[in-house]
Structure 1
């Protein structure tokens, strides 16, 4: 019997009134993009014409300028120092387009940069420094454990049992419980969670993870104010904030060192890793439909940056493509 199996049995033994042994969730042996889209729809319901993940969000526009030291790490046109137009989407995690803005869940940010040569470069991030699982299979199993049954009821005990059996799914949940709910989309640090390789003009390539960090810092909500805020305050708050002044996010890469896991997005690297500022994103206005026709696939990137073999990162392209196609066709 595996350690994971023992962990699940322990949960069942200590909470027999919550999880029956025959109902213990298991991790699938294989996951594909279609599986993920189907479980998204089962979990959040079918919403024609809506993104299957990060269904609720708001568009914004701005610009990006690379830093002077960026050329030491990459020759991507994104970091050339030119002013690069940016279209972005701030969002709530999940498949529900009416999820409350006060939910204790990740926020998302996808950005499309339009490069001087006519090309594009995308980034996609979460407000947690890690992803919710270490593989597509583990993530699919977690989503299935949390999905409602035929009567529309969810079973939190199944999720707890699954997390006990597959501890790679626990760090993100712990982070969300131990950090305040963000007060605004602009008061959040966003993380790429996956490893990418950055190559400079001399051909030197380094593995790193990127992040966009709010220049004004991370600010959480006073939870006593949640009832007064209601379910839909983030989009209006961002619009009001940008009407007063632009929001700035600094683009950092964190450099890997020997021994760091390059393929597991559920693991964070030690805090003492070297960080380098590669540029700044300026967000000027929000609202409108500029991001609606964009598929924020993080694997759409420019020369000078390449994706790692992280299986979660790789499956995002076909999953995003299915979601994009269904959204455009109203499915």
Structure 2
């Protein structure tokens, strides 16, 4: 590993919040599970391996600073570095695959940095690191059939029912017709603090100005396996692509620390507008690790075990792909 990358990984790991010692799989086991299912691909992320970079800006809502008392939310506009991606660790996956789409971003302003990592379904596929590893191991392709063994998936679902929620949502609709016409969700909850010190759990939701659209049956048959980047470029040639960001508040009984569960809460606070203005070269973000615990002063991680495990796993993944 290059000395500069090693130093960056060490710094990231040292800055991560402490995680209680348990019998749960460690961060390296999460990366191993991804590599075991999707293979190792030199220079690529272990998860969301296929993607491209973009640039834009984020305009905080007028009252966002009342919900999250931070210099970041008091800015009139902040810079945004973005990466759109497809879930999984296969860099050659089809853009028509029925898997999640990702929107990761680094927002910088007011002397603060805010990394947001969102996916196109409101729930994650695992509630805990143990469920995460089991979910992926159950989907390793059989060497003869070249497909996952349904019996292993059924056994996983029996042991970890949380593993059924996201696949059910993905099976209910075709792939997104555009990165610009799908909503995105944090799935993990975060804790927001206002000027009075009151703290509130919330999840992040990004709604597309273009509305939500999935591929038609005909488009699934005729569209290229690499249509998404060109489709977004064509949109951006006409005007910026916009999303409105909200803090979704939980209803009574919503799980604050389980990202595999759908929230029923309908109350939400407008946080701002993301404008995607242009695509960017691969070198703009491919060397960056978007860290879900890089947060402005008024936002802290919840106790979600998946959220706590993700950041150190990303640091390990960076080190491996830089070797």
**TM-score by structure 2 length?**
0.89
What residue is the counterpart of 1:171 in the other structure? Answer: 165
Q: In structure 1, what is the equivalent of residue 306 of structure 2?
A: 312
Alpha-carbon distance in 2 for matches of 1:234, 1:164: 36
Structure 1, residues 235-270: CA drift from partner, whole Å, max 9, x if none?
A: 111111111111001110011244321010000111
- Higher Cα Rg, which structure: 1
Cα deviation, 1:199-244, whole Å, max 9, x if unaligned, reads 1122111111111111121111112222321211111111111111
Q: 2:86 aligns with which of 92, 105, 115?
A: 92
Instruction: Report 1:35-184 matches (<5 A).
Output: 35-117=29-111, 119-149=112-142, 153-157=146-150, 158-184=152-178
Q: Residues 141 and 149 of structure 2 are in contact (CA less than 8 Å); yes or no, is this contact kept in structure 1?
A: no
1:39–1:147 contact (8 Å) kept in structure 2:
no
Distance in 2 of aligned mates of 1:43 and 1:34: 14
Q: Show structure 1 runs of 4+ deviating over 6 A.
A: none
Cα pair 1:189 1:214 within 8 Å, conserved: yes
Q: Distance in 1 between matches of 2:149 and 2:183?
A: 29
Secondary structure (helix, strand or coil) at the match of 2:284 reads coil
Aligned mates of 1:46, 1:152 — CA distance in 2: 20
- 1:76 deviates by 2.4
Question: Which residue matches 2:18?
Answer: none
Give the 3 Å change call, closer, same or farther, for CA 279–98 of structure 1 in structure 2: same
Kindly report the root-mean-square deviation, in angstroms, between the aligned alpha carbons of the 2 structures.
1.7
Asked if residue 210 in structure 1 is aligned to residue 204 in structure 2, the reply is yes
Q: TM-score, normalised by structure 1?
A: 0.87
Structure 1 residues 216 and 92, CA gap change in structure 2 (3 angstroms)? same
* Whole-Å separation in 2 of the counterparts to 1:140 and 1:101: 25
Q: Which of these residues, 173, 187, 192, is aligned with residue 193 of structure 1? A: 187
Report which stretch shifted further, 308-317 or 216-225. 216-225
Task: Give the C-alpha shift of residue 151 in structure 1.
Answer: 5.9
Deviations 1:150-193 (A, max 9, x none): 66833331213322332111111111111232100111100000
CA contact (8 A) 1:37 1:322 kept: yes
Q: Are 1:301 and 2:295 matched, yes or no?
A: yes
Residue deviations 1:92-122, cap 9 Å, x none? 00000010000000001100011232x3110
Name stretches of at least 5 consecutive residues in structure 2 with no aligned partner. 1-22
**Unpaired segments ≥5 residues, structure 1:** 1-28
